[in-house]
Amino acid sequence: MANPNDPHQVPQPDDDFAMSNPYASPVAVPVGSHDQRAGYVTRTDEVLNPWISMWTRPRETVRQQLDTDPWRHVLLLATLAGMSGNLGNQSIAYSAELPGRLFTMGSLALAGAVFGLAWIFIMGWLVGLTGRMIGGVGYALDCRCALAWSSVPGIWLTPLYLSIGLYYLVAGPYAFVGGTPRPGQSVFEIFPVLILVVMAVSVIVVIWQLVITCQAVGESHRFSSLRGFGALLLTLLLIMGVFIALMIVMMVIGAIVSMALR
């Protein structure tokens, strides 16, 4: 029956048993409200610009994208995210010749784009898997959408990374204080102050992006941000476990081959 004090006139269960009964009919939730039991948000009538709202309203933004077109811009975001950081890679400046620096910059950008696309497909599947292990409901497509839009803060730094890359491209080895870096040098002895400032800003954005990603993953699985972090942590542990297992297998195979050749 409807609650007379509820302005939305949302039907409520008739008794306490219906509230805890897993087989009871679902209860409607007013648009724009938070379902505290499920730990996720429902869509509002407001149309968000995801390139901006992702900074401060990641849950609402991801819910909007999932409910409209979860594939929209996912591949573009993954490509930009992969390229962004590589554009300011210091190895661009190592070559003494401009053609060599151009080749390095182009190779890094291409490698970043390929890595970004591979990352979004693999991580989307893994985060979907680990999230469902801890009670989530999202699948690979939902998690790819969440992870892709979570990269927006890092993508906003692309102009900064590109400016550093162009500086490396033009200055070459002279981009560093005292010439090409030597092993054991402090970062403060290598980079100009401006680049150090950009690095500091990047660290702050990366930390905030992690917070956003936990919320986005939580929304894709319709559970809390804390469990979103848990899904990411489980994914990291799973990847580490696979790499360790592969290393052990390779060591065993190497030992067997070595013994067979004796």
Give CA angle at 149 (145, 150), nearest 5°. Answer: 115
Give the tens place of pLDDT for each residue, 197-208. 778 888 999 999
Question: Rounded to an integer, what distance in angstroms lies between the CA atom of residue 205 and that of residue 174?
Answer: 28
Per the rule left: phi > 0, alpha: psi between -120 and 50, beta: everything else, 133 is alpha
Q: Give residue limits of the domains in the chain.
A: 59-254
> What are residue 170's phi and psi, to 5 degrees?
-80, -45
Task: Return the minimum-mean-pLDDT range out of 33-37, 49-53, 158-162, 166-170.
Answer: 33-37
Task: Kindly state the average pLDDT of the residues 26-31.
Answer: 42
Question: Rounded to an integer, what distance in angstroms lies between the CA atom of residue 230 and that of residue 218?
Answer: 9
Question: Rounded to an integer, what distance in angstroms lies between the CA atom of residue 45 and that of residue 170?
Answer: 49
Query: Average pLDDT, whole number, for the chain?
Result: 81
Question: Rounded to an integer, what distance in angstroms lies between the CA atom of residue 139 and that of residue 220?
Answer: 8
Whole-model pTM: value is 0.75
* pLDDT(235) > 50: yes
